Structure 1
Amino acid sequence: MNVIIWNCRGASKPSFKKRVRELVQNHNPAILVVMETRVGGDRAREITNLLPFDEAIHTDATSYAGGLWVLWNADRVDITLLSSTEHEIHAKVKVRFTNVSWLLSAVYASPRNAERQILWKNLMNVAELHNLPWVIAGDFNEPLLSEDKFGGRSVSVNRSLLFKECLDKCKMLDFGFAGPRFTWTNRREVQALI
C-alpha cells in the first residue's frame, strides 16, 4: 500500500489537480497527505471533491498559510479521525480486508516556534495514549541538524534539542527521503539562498 506525503505549497494552483492525477496514475496511493494547501473551508472541499479520492479530512489554512489534508480511497482503507488541530491530523487507519490497523499523524508544523512547542507536546501525548504502529509524516519546520539547512541563520541548538526530545519520546525514526536534499529556496541569488 502506497502513501504519498506532499508539501504542495498551494492547492489552488492550476497545476495542482493535474499533479495529483499524475501521482495517482504513477504510484496508486491509498492515502495522500497534502500539506501547506493554503486553502480551507468550502474551497478545500470543492478542490478535494474533484480529486481521485473518495474521502478527505481537512484542517483550515490560516491567512493563506498552512492547511493540511488527508485523502484516501475508501475501498482500500478505512480512516477514522481521532483528533486534529490546524497543525496536525491524527487518525486510525484500517487496511480493508485485513486485520492491519495503524495510527497516522499528518503534521504541518507552524513556522512560529511557540506553536511548534505545542505540537511537540501534542505528539508526546499521543505517544502515551496508544500502542498501535504509528506513522508520523509531514513538515516539522524545524531542522534537527545544521546539515538540514543551507544559508540564513544558524540552526538553534535549543530548538533542535526540544525537537529531538519529541522525536525520542515518540520513538520516531527518520526514514529519509528520495530526491534532492533541499527542495525549497527563497528565490534569491545563489549566494543568498536559504
Structure 2
Amino acid sequence: MNVGFGGVGVGAESSNIRRYFREHCRTSRPGIVALLETRICGTTADKAVRAFGFQNSFRVEAHGFSVGIWILWKDMIDVEIITVSHQSIHGRCWYAEVARWLYFTAVYARPQVEKRRLLWRHLRNLAQGENEAWIMGGDFNSILRLDERDVGSSRGSGVNKSFADFIFDMGLIEVDYKGSPFT
C-alpha cells in the first residue's frame, strides 16, 4: 500500500465523484489522501469517509460551497495533525519504509487576496527545515503562469506576485500534473 498524498477538489456527495474516487483508490491504493471542497459535513461526511474505505479522518468542515478540507488515512499509517486553520491542515505521517516522518499540508485558499496573504504567512511559519520531507498541495486560488488561467474566467487578469514570492521564498517545486485542466 502506498503512502501517497493526493488531493482532489470534489463535491463528496456526488455519485460521479464518489465512483471516480473509489476507482482511484482501488488502482493507486493510497494510504493517505486529502480531499478539498467537499461540500458536505457532519454525519453525512462521516458516512462518506466510511464509504471511501478509510478508517481515520480529520477535517475542516465545509460551509456550503466553501472550505471543506479532509485528510483520510488507513489504520496502517500513523498520522498526527499538527495545526489547523480555515485554509489548511498541516500534519505528519510516519513512513516506515524510510523510518522518518513525512510532513504534509493540504491547502484550500480563500479567494480573497488578504486572506490568502495570511495563509502564505501562516505556511511560511510551518517550514520544517531543509532535511525534512514536506509535501504541500491543494487549491491555492492563485496562478503562477497565465496558461493556468481559464480564458473565459473573470477571476483575475494575471499572475499573483505574492503567490510567486511565496513559492520562491519557500523553495517549493511544482510537480507535474496529468489530467483535465482546471480541476
Residue 97 of structure 1 and its aligned partner are, at CA, apart by 5.8
Q: Which residue of 2 aligns with 1:178?
A: 178
TM-score of the pair, normalised by structure 1: 0.83
Corresponding position: 1:33 with 2:34: yes
Whether the 8 Å contact between 1:123 and 1:170 is mirrored in structure 2 is no
TM-score of the pair, normalised by structure 2: 0.88
Q: Which residue of 2 aligns with 1:191?
A: none
The one-letter code matched in structure 2 to 1:43 is: T
Residue 130 of structure 1 and its aligned partner are, at CA, apart by 4.4
Instruction: Compute the RMSD of aligned alpha carbons.
Output: 1.9
Corresponding position: 1:117 with 2:117: yes
Q: Which residue of 2 aligns with 1:4?
A: 6
Residue 23 of structure 1 and its aligned partner are, at CA, apart by 1.1
Distance in 2 separating the partners of 1:44 and 1:37: 8
Q: For this pair of structures, how many residues does the alignment match?
A: 178
Q: Which residue of 2 aligns with 1:155?
A: 157
Q: How does 1:22-171 map to 2 (within 5 A)?
A: 22-75=23-76, 77-96=77-96, 98-127=98-127, 130-131=129-130, 132-151=132-151, 152-153=153-154, 155-157=157-159, 160-171=160-171
The one-letter code matched in structure 2 to 1:53 is: F
Name structure 1 gaps, 5 residues minimum.
185-194
Q: Which residue of 2 aligns with 1:188?
A: none
Residue 40 of structure 1 and its aligned partner are, at CA, apart by 2.3
Whether the 8 Å contact between 1:78 and 1:96 is mirrored in structure 2 is no
The ranges of structure 1 where at least 4 consecutive aligned residues each deviate by more than 2 angstroms after the TM superposition are 1-4, 14-20, 40-43, 152-157
Name structure 2 gaps, 5 residues minimum.
none
Distance in 2 separating the partners of 1:71 and 1:79: 10
Task: From the CA coordinates, give the structure whose radius of gyration is larger.
Answer: 1
The one-letter code matched in structure 1 to 2:113 is: N
Residue 45 of structure 1 and its aligned partner are, at CA, apart by 1.9
Whether the 8 Å contact between 1:56 and 1:72 is mirrored in structure 2 is yes
The one-letter code matched in structure 1 to 2:120 is: W
Q: Secondary structure at the match of 1:15?
A: helix
CA displacement 1:123-145 (0-9 Å, x = unmatched)? 11112x54521100111110111
